[in-house]
Structure 1
Amino acid sequence: MLPNRSRLSVLIFLVPPLLLYAVAVLLPILQSLFLSFFQWDGVTDMQFVGLGNYIYMLTGDTVFWTAFLNTLGYLVICLILQLGGALLVASLLTMLRRGRELVKTLYLLPAVISTVAIAFLFQRIYSLEPAGLLNRGLELIGLGGLQTAWLSDVGTVLAAVSVPEGWRFTGLYMLIIYAALLAVPQELEEAAKLDGASWWQTFWRIKFPHIRPVWITTTIIATTYALRGFDIPYLLTNGGPGQASELLTTYMYKTAFTSTDYGYASTIAVFVVIECLVAVGLILLLLRRKADA
């Protein structure tokens, strides 16, 4: 549909980022796929093991399955905080008359703060001795019995490492959803109000169908990023205590750089890529099926 000159211009602008994507993303994935069929410590000669790494990962590695289940729990908590919080704040912002820019800036700040700084911040918040913000707050409202070492308690550590990640990107997704809500035609909302529709009916029947494409894209971004989450959990607990907060990414990192088993670490990396692709497929299938219904 484009004239030849336009096609050439588009091609010229697309080639550099596509080459960068191929070198920075596709090439490492192919390298990991290649290494996953070998046993290699990074020094000695590689030994071909075929599907041996995959068979061991799926049938003989209990730590892998613990990390996989932890990753799913981590994903659920992050999505609830990020998407739920982003949608709530964005909806409230559309009704706010003053101070919108200040609120947006405050919510966006965590996304531009260093992950190391965020990890240190939440270490102080979760601290038991001396009492951090969370434990001190529980004491002030009469719930001192709930005080615990949040990062050392097996029952709370997974949620404790998930909250910082969820809090970090809520503002970013809020801005995306807020921009989509502003694009909803005002006349449709006014017509719904004249017909006696409630706030929820207006949102669910009018606003949400219009922002559904943006919602799908945002959900995919949040899901894939959470499945690849590494830095904050690693800095806070390094997967501990035990494997209570071990994620696939932290387990992969330790397998490669602590156990120096680069072949098996590459196998886990390939699984993470497949996991992300499956998650994207499920999101597209579920949300688009609801849209068609």
Structure 2
Amino acid sequence: MCAGCGQSTASPVVKVVDRVPAGCTSTGAMKSTLALAVLLFGSVVGACGGDGTVPVDASMDGSFDGTVDSAVDGQVGVCEGVTDGTSCGVGAFCIGGVCTAGRCGDGVLESDAGEQCDDGANGDDGDGCRDDCTFTCEADVDCDDGDSCTGVESCDIALHLCSTSGPLDCDDLDPCTIDSCDAGVGCAHDLDDGDLDGYAPATTCTTAGLMGGDCDDTNDSVFPGAPEHCDSLDNDCDGAIDEGLATLICLRDADRDRYGDPTDTVNACSCPSGYVGVRADGETDCSDREPDAYPGQPAYFVDGYCP
């Protein structure tokens, strides 16, 4: 009986049956454990007497005096205004203002009943309060999901609930990098480098000092400071093509007679289409509009000829 609890003189009435039910003694008195079950749950059980009523040892003192211990009688308001979980009798607790028998999932941990927790889950039989019932967490390590990207997990010891600091913010505010998160190591900031030449594209990363400024991120021979090649490309991204390497003088050959116009030339590593290099004999075209007019031509023409 809980300290300070009053008593009621009401006697429970139970149904008469033609046998001695389990929990009754041969003298017609109900055992205290069965009586307690009647009082707590309002169950209809077999009577131990023959007249429809039976004295019960509700006070569990062996007296069978017919009194009802109000500390375990949910009908007399002993739990009004009492904090949930307060004991109101042997194996009983105040839950929602009602004195209730301790049971699985009532939010009260009853260690003497073999409960390790009482969260209403994880039990073999679904009742959530046997020895295999475990809290979601009892320490921060219980909440660690092994994924650095989800943030730091911690356990609220009082509530046995896991919480997280939230996903990692991997944005380094650097336009030259691609930000990502690896579950094992956390944030990664790889250079945005499509051709793997060590430089990010000039379209997004303009500072060469930050490994940016690549004017062609699809060609690994083109990047700031690259050596120039005779390939008609701006290898070093300085805006000039094949500078310093143009060793050939190419003459325009508009009439395709293989003699070039000495007044129309370009310097290049190799002569582009429509141009010819300087001939070994030094001859040039005197009329680049007439394919039949060239040095050593076999005949003279009204429209032009070369002497």
Q: Same fold (TM over 0.5)?
A: no
* Larger relative contact order (Cα-Cα within 8 Å, sequence gap ≥ 6): 1
Q: Which TM-score band (shorter chain)? A: under 0.3
TM-score (norm 1): 0.17
Q: Name which one, 1 or 2, has greater alpha-carbon Rg.
A: 2
Structure with higher strand content: 2
Structure with higher helix content: 1
